[in-house]
Amino acid sequence: TGLITLDEGYKNTGATTSGITFLDGEEGILRYRGYSIEELAEKSTFLEVAYLLIYGELPSVKEFEQFKNEITVHTLVHEDIKKILDGFPSNAHPMGVLSSLVCTLTAFYPESLDPNRSADKVNLSIIRILAKMPTFAAWAYKNEVGHPVNYPDNSLDYCSNFLKMMFALPAEKYEADPVVADALDKLLILHADHEQNCSTSTVRIVGSSKASLYSSVSAGINALWGPLHGGANQAVIEMLEAIKADGGNVQKFIDKAKDKNDPFRLMGFGHRVYKNFDPRAKIIKKAADNVLSKLGVNDPVLEIAKGLEEAALKDPYFVERKLYPNVDFYSGIIYRAIGIPTDMFTVMFALGRLPGWIAQWKEMREKNEPIGRPRQIYTGSKIRSYVEMNKR
Ligand code: CMC
């Protein structure tokens, strides 16, 4: 079988070459297609960033208009998907609902299963999933709260439409606050891609078997769900709430995180690649201050988060291990301030990460990468003879 190199968790193994996202963990640099995350967060919009990631270049005015129009045309989902939604219990976690609904697109668009279809048809799948994910995400929430679903409003931009589908009630007039829509747009940009993380690698490896875009993204959503990955944003707020309920003693939780006999970890801290700082966390921390003050929200957990960060960054345990706040540490505070419920935080991450998953899936397909199939080093029993059950 030849020599197999063992690298559990792929800490040092590159699985692909990629021209999408550049990341330097020592210097805290993140760029999409060569553009710095700081500049994109300040000047661009989420849909423009989606175009950049997927097609490789910033769009011209005409290209962008066409892209937006195509997405707008496809925001509606098949009425029968509502019946599938109705089958979920109201306490279903919205991430499970989202991944399931995304996977139903394989049933409503079976042509997406054909690995040999034309580039135009692949592009239609890309447009459809970008257009329909906000609808699914908002409907997963509506299922939870027992409200009727809202249909997309194609007169609105991507984020305002999502917010309306989330929050509008039939008996009330709803208009998204531009401060809220802008804050959401910025958060989605910051989450849009992060090279070969767990969910993106999942999308690529599922897609490498020539599975459809929809089933590959559905698998990515499930990978993102875990608390060590995207699920951390929900876990952070739960942790900050627990600290608050406990009287605000951050040191107690830091000590708990340091205790090797305790499985507790400081959520929103540490990163596989960033060993200096996470550039997204810096932008989000500033944005959290900004958005909360613009909205006049006073959230005591923001102060707890800052206190926790300060204390952890002084602690030799965190310093030696180069553990810094990551993207998930402050994002939940913004989501909460703009009215997103805690168990929807990871769904928001999925909405943001979607263009990255698509771009990586597309790149992998266009490069005609071989099927992903890691090796192993076997540590089980040597050959033995079968023993009849009554003799065991
Ligand atoms: N709290 C306490 N100790 C930690 C933490 C933490 N948050 N993160 C890492 N460590 C310790 C870990 O116990 C280990 O210590 P030792 O060397 O004594 O055994 C050392 O630091 C290295 O950690 P690791 O688990 O080997 O590092 P990793 O690269 O495998 O894991 C991580 C990276 C992000 C999974 C991890 O830092 C973690 O669990 N963080 C908390 C969850 C979190 O915030 N996840 C979001 C990640 S960023 C966005 C995303 O991916 O979605």
CA 202: distance to chain centroid? Answer: 13
Single-letter residue type at 325:
P
**pTM assigned to the model:** 0.95
Q: Which of 133, 279, 146 is nearest to 217 (CA)?
A: 133
201 phi and psi, to 5 degrees? -65, -35
CB-count exposure of residue 34 (10 Å: 0-12, 13-18, 19+): exposed
Q: Is the CB of 257 under 6 A from ligand 1?
A: yes
DSSP states of 354-380 as a string? HHHHHHHHHHHHHTTPPPP-------S
Q: Is the CB of 326 under 6 A from ligand 1?
A: yes
Cα–Cα distance between 254 and 251 in angstroms, integer?
5
Q: CB atoms < 10 A from the CB of 392, how many?
A: 5
Strands 29-32 and 21-24, sheet pairing: antiparallel
**Would you state the structure tokens that stand for residue 334, as one six-digit string?**
């913004």
Q: How far is the CA of 263 from the centre of ligand 1 (A)?
A: 11
Q: Is the CB of 271 under 6 A from ligand 1?
A: yes
Q: Which atom of ligand 1 is nearest to the CA of 197?
A: 51
Q: How far is the CA of 351 from the centre of ligand 1 (A)?
A: 24
Q: How far apart are the first and last CA of the chain?
A: 34
* Residue with CA at minimum distance from ligand 1 atom 41: 267
* Residue with CA at minimum distance from ligand 1 atom 10: 270
Sign of the dihedral through C-alpha 169, 170, 172, 175: positive
**Would you state the structure tokens that stand for residue 286, as one six-digit string?**
């500033």
Q: How far is the CA of 236 from the centre of ligand 1 (A)?
A: 13
Q: How far is the CA of 240 from the centre of ligand 1 (A)?
A: 18
Q: Is the CB of 235 under 6 A from ligand 1?
A: no
194-212 pLDDT, tens digit each: 999 999 999 999 999 999 9
pLDDT of residue 2: 72
**Would you state the structure tokens that stand for residue 390, as one six-digit string?**
């009554």
Catalytic residue among 93, 271, 278, 343: 271
pLDDT of residue 44: 98
* Range 77-81 contact pairs with CB under 8 angstroms and sequence separation of 24 or more: 77/101, 77/132, 77/135, 77/136, 77/139, 78/108, 80/108, 81/108, 81/136
Cα–Cα distance between 367 and 16 in angstroms, integer?
10
For residue 271, indicate whether it is catalytic.
Answer: yes
- Local confidence pLDDT in tens for the 392 residues of the chain: 578 999 999 999 999 999 999 999 999 999 999 999 999 999 999 999 999 999 999 999 999 999 999 999 999 999 999 999 999 999 999 999 999 999 999 999 999 999 999 999 999 999 999 999 999 999 999 999 999 999 999 999 999 999 999 999 999 999 999 999 999 999 999 999 999 999 999 999 999 999 999 999 999 999 999 999 999 999 999 999 999 999 999 999 999 999 999 999 999 999 999 999 999 999 999 999 999 999 999 999 999 999 999 999 999 999 999 999 999 999 999 999 999 999 999 999 999 999 999 999 999 999 999 999 999 999 999 999 999 999 99
Q: Is the CB of 244 under 6 A from ligand 1?
A: no
Catalytic residue among 185, 193, 278, 328: 328
